[in-house]
Amino acid sequence: MSGEVRVGVLVSGRGSNLDALCRAAADPGYPGRVVLVISNRRDAMALEVAGRWGVPAEAMPVSRYSHDDRARDRAMGERFREAGVALVVCAGYNRVLTEPFLEAYPDAILNVHPSLLPAFGGGMHAVEEALEYGVKISGCTVQLLEPGVPDGGPIILQRAVPVREDDDAASLLERIHEQEWLAVPEAVRLWCEGRIRRDGRVVRIAATPEEGS
């Protein structure tokens, strides 16, 4: 893919992954540019993070759409399309996206999850669950979102985080976050460079853009 890819980001919370992505994209050599941030929550700190980077940001709470997730998701898809967004990144978005949105962006929605999928997918307490299970290695996953099982999409990349004897959920999450801040900009870069090649549910990373097309 040539030129700069227009990236949209969906958020709900603190926005540390958004911050990491905006920092990476500030490099003139980075192949993507964050052009619009949408939050489902008006009070998401991530909206302020977007403001600090000069990125337009808006809240689209489901209450504005008669609490109809599909109607809100359709409107979000249209909003991103209007903004010329080619790639959407869910960076701490806490709702399951419905078909009208997923179908508007096939193979073009990335999601970051704080576990090594398929372990501890599908929920909001992956770090606590991993500790309760007693895993020795945790980490984060960036995957493509598609209709079907939440957190069941093709995996683009994963980064491992060893669990320490004295870890609690907060300390482990902190180290997982540090890996997410590397993984998200890296996955976005690969996508923008056209290096992600899907073979069924297996993603292969092409060495060059030409190989990936």
Site pattern 188..207 for ligand GRF (x: CB under 6 A): --------------------
Q: Is 7 helix (H, G, I), strand (E, B) or coil?
A: strand
What is the amino acid identity at position 12? S
Nearer to ligand GRF (CB atom), residue 176 or residue 196: 176
> Which stretch in 1-9, 31-39, 95-103, 109-117 sits in contact with ligand GRF by CB under 6 A?
109-117
Give the list of residues 6+ apart from residue 173 with CB closer than 8 angstroms, or none.
114, 127
| 91 belongs to the binding site for ligand GRF (CB under 6 A) | yes
DSSP 8-state code for residue 19? H
> Which stretch in 14-22, 52-60, 155-163, 193-201 sits in contact with ligand GRF by CB under 6 A?
14-22
Please give the residue whose beta carbon sits closest to ligand GRF in the complex. 92
Instruction: Name the active-site residue from 67, 113, 125, 177.
Output: 113
User: Is 67 annotated as catalytic?
Assistant: no
H-helix or E-strand containing 209? helix 209-212
| 139 belongs to the binding site for ligand GRF (CB under 6 A) | no
| 41 belongs to the binding site for ligand GRF (CB under 6 A) | no
Taken in order 92, 187, 126, 200, the sign of the CA dihedral is positive
| 180 belongs to the binding site for ligand GRF (CB under 6 A) | yes
Closest by CA to 98, choosing from 75, 73, 123, 62, is 73
Nearer to ligand GRF (CB atom), residue 71 or residue 169: 169
Q: How many CA atoms lie within 13 A of 105 on its CB side?
A: 28
Angle between helical axes of 45-52 and 16-25 (0-180°, round to 10): 20
Strand partners, 147: none
Nearer to ligand GRF (CB atom), residue 177 or residue 195: 177
Catalytic annotation, residues = 113
Residues lying near ligand GRF in the complex (CB under 6 A) are found at 13-17, 46, 91-92, 112-114, 177, 180
